[in-house]
Structure 1
Amino acid sequence: MTSHPLTGSVLAVLSLVLGLQPTSSSAQAGPTPTSSLPARCTATPFLTSVPKRMVYRIPALVATPRGTLVAFAERRRSTAVASDLSDTEVVVARSVDRGCHWTAPRVVADSGTDTVGNPAPVVDTTTGTVLLLTVDRPRVGRPSAGPGGRGLHLQRSTDDGLTFTSYADARLDLAHTPGWKGGLTGPGHAIQLHNPASPHRGRIVVPLGYKSGDRYGTYGLVSDDHGVHWSVGYHALTVDARIEGTVAELADGRLWVSYHSRGPAAVGRGRVGAYSLDGGRTLTGPFRRAGLPVVSVQGSALALTGTHAGVLLYSSPAGQDPRRRHQMALFASRGATAGRGWAAPYDVQLDSRPASYSDLVQLDDGSVGVLYETGRTSWHERIVFRSLDVADVLAPTRTAARLTVTVPRRVRAGRAPRPTLLVRVAGATSPAGDLRVRLSGPGVNRTQTLALMPGSSGTRVVTLGRLAKGRYRLQVRYSGTARITGVTRTVTITAD
């Protein structure tokens, strides 16, 4: 097997930025004893560097039977917004302490200046092997530059994610496989079926999407022999553009398969789901709206096992503005309605931050990890890992908020006051949520809603309009979130 380490200078820079000591592969070879593992962690495995033209995107995450976390991402050599087809390689980072510290990213899949991406890893728990599926796409107007050839590639690691088989020898030629459509894997983790009662136990299921003419299709790739041979499972071709799939095995053995719309869609209309009763071979019916109040963007599904079996989690930005992506959150769905009815979103951070693609992993019986794109002003800035208590996700502990309304209580008639609204929450510099402002008085009864924007420090300034002579009641309500308690303040303004 071969590994592709970065140069020493890049390793040193990333180690300094992340606050890590340089870690050798041998130092990361084995898992940390359970007794010494920290409870919860936040870390940054992948940090974008614009001067170095290294933009990390498209996270994917799995946990091995030894407890090691293996994270993947695309590293794009272009800082352009439209960089989906650019010089791109897939990199890997590992953590043996539940995500608190990570090795520096190293290249695992590269094909010259081609676009190598859409990482879809899966762990074969029978053998302990980590399988990584990626897709090689040549850049527009250029021939394939790499030795591995275009299309689907499958690499393996038999040493807990330390090294992977050569990308040059990893091309998976399925051109003669009945139903093969090409297209893009995931992105995000694929699954292996584990339900003891399922006749398909051990099967690997990988969601894909493809384009045929002006239509987009979805289908599944399945293997019943540890990835040696593959066949096509479910398939759906529709007039609406559905891309980027995720799949989860529910406690009753059903599979929940979900994709999102390619273009902008109204909140709640961009995510669809369907079920499979035969291990991903077919779907029980057409895709229907999943009932998730999210914008159209990639997301990750994870069906929990153990104490919380029967719970389906889904990660996605919870911000309601289709023009931007922010506020990474987890949604929970349970029991027979898993995949159709969802609880209120659990914000991964109390702060309102940009957020986009993500992936989920179960760490142990009571905790999960989420790997997601985020930053202070843009979700291109970094890919962050956070571990979370499942119990808190399902029944959040709420933090109190303080709301201050600063406005003159007496103004000259004909003037337009501009109150400053300030929300303070312990543990958050820019808390998430909305402000509902209602002004009532002589001839006036109007309401407006303002979102607390990322980087706003919890502050918004609102213009009330010119006030005629009289007394006015200004009521401001901070909505709060599933993790922050809402609060209301009312002040009286006199115009004379």
Structure 2
Amino acid sequence: MIRMILLAMTLVVSQSFVCADESTDDILFSTSFEDGKVGSFQSLQDGTVQVRATGTAAITPKYAHTGKQCLHLLGDENNTITFILPEDLRSVKGISFHAERWTRRAPFSFRVEVQQDDTWREVAQLDYIVITGARFRSHVQLPITGDGETQAIRFQVTAASKSGVLIDDLSFHETAPKRPTPIPTSVMPSEPLELVDSQPLFTSGTQGTHTFRIPAIVTATNGDLLAVCDARRKSSGDLGYQRTIDIVCRRSIDNGKTWTPMEVIENIQDGGCSDASLIVDQVTGDIFCFYNYITADRSKKEYRFMVQKSSDHGKTWGEPVDFTDQVAGPELKNAFKFITSGRGIQTREGLLMHDYVHIGKGVIVFGSRDHGKTWEKMGEVSPGDESKVVQLPSGSLMVNSRISPGKRFIHRSSDGGKTWESNADFSLPDPNCNACIIQYTAQRDGYAKDRLLFCNAASNNGRKNLAVRISYDGGLTWSAGKVIDNGPSAYSSMTILKDGSIGVLYEPGYKEVRFVRFTLSALTGEKLNKPYVPHPTAGP
């Protein structure tokens, strides 16, 4: 939910502002609100430009993308600004501006409309476009279609009181934008996915645990399944609110049909651990379990990073190793940082890769070049929150991140993580929840198709509707998807089993952590053209 309204472009306007990635020769009108009088307004006249406003709009000197001022459209029901275009602006074919949603409080809706031939029609519904609290990171570019002249542009917003949107650097263009902002779909996956198996592995309220949360699952090199999660002993709260969390696991040697009793992985006695994630080293057979740790001393709030290694497919575990200082410098000592739960990867070159989040700043990718003996920081991407790293068949890297309701954020690197290209992906609607992405098959390994799988709570409004999609082009486009669970569903983790079927460990709400299994045929109608074998270094 994010709104961005093109409001009140009415003020006195400066003709000098242009975004760096926009053409300067097709601008009909631009403003960065530098000449507007500070304070609220209901109507404005700037030469032949007439603006009529309902609700509350104001020029504020507190925030700006460029200059010292911007427009703040405060929350109100049906807050509307109608921008009446003079004759010399009626050829407008594009709109561009930077925006920031002001607080996440509901309700929120925003749409842009145009009047052509005395008839109003919608240009775009933009509830999910603008990021909250990211300092004008949302750059919106909209085309105006239709053969008639555009007589007026209307921006309508509904938001909570004293909430709203900040807008700066607005321009009207004579041509449509070359890279228009993708508009998220409101159509969610709905077709049920036929499951081979479905069973709860960890049930909240049992085994001395208030709530089980945060799933992680991998397939060991011998084919065993390892399912891991938080055992939140006293409450459902995250690690910052309680220190009584253990990392627990169960194993299966028969493709998930039966499971061993629950065991505790970590053996730290003086603090809490959470958000486990796993990497299987296909070369050595070792499994690494990462998690976040805070000491029981509540005067200390530093998040530390721990890793434990199993060399017998998850049956036993070595001592915890604190590797925080290897991947996070002293400047992050007291920062809110945590390793993303779920899983990391091993690249075709044998490199182990994972990531952690620096809240409000982005995602740091880290890894090991020596099979887990040492770890190092490898790069940063932004914006981002809990993320997954995946290597595509081409060898390029992708970081798929939760960012805000309505979309995921995708970062791609073709040079091993030295540089990244970043874009929002509105084809993956998301309620701002941790998800899972995994490379399944590759043509370079003898399979008929490249196959990339993505699993998340496919909803723009709440954590629900767990669905799986497939991509054959490295995540550029995705299938409509099929639904595992149309009820409450939050975090999920995915793995490929030794028989080639697909396993998902997920949260159906927070009452349990559940394991399900399905086949490629159930998802797409396809069958593998040869038995599934993981790449010798790129784990399943």
Q: TM-score, normalised by structure 2?
A: 0.56
Task: Pick one of 248, 255, 265 that aligns with 1:108.
Answer: 265
Asked whether 1:171 is paired with 2:311, we answer no
Aligned twin of 2:410: 273
Name which of 379, 383, 391 aligns with 2:513. Answer: 383
- 1:58, 1:48 → 2: CA distance? 12
Return the match for 1:373 from 489, 504, 507. Answer: 507
Matched, 1:61 2:217: yes
Give, in angstroms, the shift of residue 110 of structure 1: 4.4
Secondary structure at the residue paired with 1:288? Answer: strand
Shift of 1:133: 1.2
Residue 358 of structure 2 corresponds to residue 210 of structure 1: yes
Deviation readout 1:377-410 (Å, 9 max, x if unpaired): xx111111111111221249xxxxxxxxxxxxxx
Aligned to 1:311: 451
Deviation at 1:101, TM superposition (A): 1.1
Map 1:110-129 → 2, pairs under 5 A: 110-112=267-269, 114-129=271-286
The 5 Å alignment of 1:304-343 reads 304-305=440-441, 307=447, 309-320=449-460, 322=461, 324-335=462-473, 338-343=474-479
1:361 aligns with 2:495: yes
Hey, what's the Cα distance between the residues in 1 that align with 2:208 and 2:316?
Answer: 25
How far off its partner does 1:217 sit? 1.8
Distance 1:110 1:367, change over 3 A: same
> Are the aligned partners of 1:273 and 1:339 in contact in 2 as well (CA < 8 Å)?
no
Q: Give the whole-Å Cα distance in 1 for the aligned partners of 2:363 and 2:199.
A: 34
Is 2:363–2:381's contact at 8 Å kept on the other side of the alignment? yes
State whether residues 219 and 498 of structure 2, in contact with CA within 8 Å, keep that contact through their aligned partners in structure 1.
Answer: no
1:153 equivalent to 2:327? Answer no
- Secondary structure of the equivalent of 1:344? coil
- Matched with 1:423 is none
State the shift of 1:286 in Å.
2.7
What's the secondary structure of 1:391's corresponding residue?
helix
Shift of 1:234: 2.0
How far the C-alpha of 1:257 sits from its partner, in A, is 0.7
Q: Following the alignment from structure 2 to structure 1, what is the Cα–Cα distance between the partners of residues 247 and 375?
A: 23
1:299 equivalent to 2:438? Answer no
Alpha carbons 2:455, 2:466 under 8 Å: kept: yes
| Other-structure match for 2:137 | none
Q: What CA distance in whole angstroms lies between the structure 2 residues aligned with 1:209 and 1:115?
A: 19
**What SS does structure 1 have at the residue aligned with 2:370?**
coil
Residue 325 of structure 1 and its aligned partner are, at CA, apart by 1.3
Structure 1 residues 413-466: Cα deviation after superposition (integer angstroms, max 9, x where no partner): xxxxxxxxxxxxxxxxxxxxxxxxxxxxxxxxxxxxxxxxxxxxxxxxxxxxxx
Q: Residues 104 and 128 of structure 1: is their aligned pair in 2 closer, same or farther, counting only changes over 3 Å?
A: same
Unaligned runs of 5+ in 2: 1-194, 527-540
**1:348 to 2:502 alignment:** no
Give the equivalent residue in structure 1 for 2:377: 232
* Structure 1 residue 345, shift from structure 2 partner: 1.9
Partners of 1:294 and 1:319 within 8 A in 2: yes
Q: Which residue of structure 1 lines up, in the alignment, with residue 4 of structure 2?
A: none
Instruction: Give SS of 1:133's match.
Output: strand
Partners of 1:139 and 1:331 in 2: how far apart? 41
Partner of 2:392 in structure 1?
Answer: 250
Structure 1 290/62 Cα, relative in aligned 2: closer, same or farther at 3 Å?
farther
Equivalent residue number for residue 192 of structure 2: none
Q: CA deviation at 1:62?
A: 0.8
- 1:210–1:216 Cα contact (<8 Å) kept: yes
Contact 1:85–1:115 (Cα < 8 Å) also in 2 = no
Backbone CA RMSD of aligned residues = 2.7
What CA distance in whole angstroms lies between the structure 1 residues aligned with 2:426 and 2:493?
18
- Shift of the 287–150 alpha-carbon distance from structure 1 to 2, 3 Å rule, reads same
Deviation at 1:50, TM superposition (A): 6.3
CA contact (8 A) 2:303 2:338 kept: no
Aligned to 2:233: 77
Go from structure 1 to structure 2 and tell me whether the alpha carbon gap of 1:95 and 1:365 turns closer, same or farther (over 3 Å shift). closer
The alpha carbon displacement at 1:159 in A equals 0.8
Q: Give the 3-state SS of the residue equivalent to 2:260 in structure 1.
A: coil
For 1:393, the equivalent position in structure 2 comes to 523
Aligned to 2:386, what secondary structure does the other structure show?
Answer: strand
Instruction: Give the C-alpha shift of residue 292 in structure 1.
Output: 0.5
Aligned equivalents of 2:488, 2:378: Cα separation in 1: 36
Partner amino acid for 2:470? A
Deviation, 1:143, is: 4.2
- Quote the offset at 1:227 in angstroms: 1.1
User: Partners of 1:178 and 1:81 in 2: how far apart?
Assistant: 28
| Partner secondary structure for residue 314 of structure 2 | coil
Q: CA deviation at 1:236?
A: 2.7
Cα separation, 2, equivalents of 1:98 and 1:176: 35
**Once the 2 structures are TM-superposed, how far is the Cα of residue 137 of structure 1 from its aligned partner?**
2.2
Higher relative contact order at CA 8 Å, sep ≥6: structure 1 or structure 2?
Answer: 2
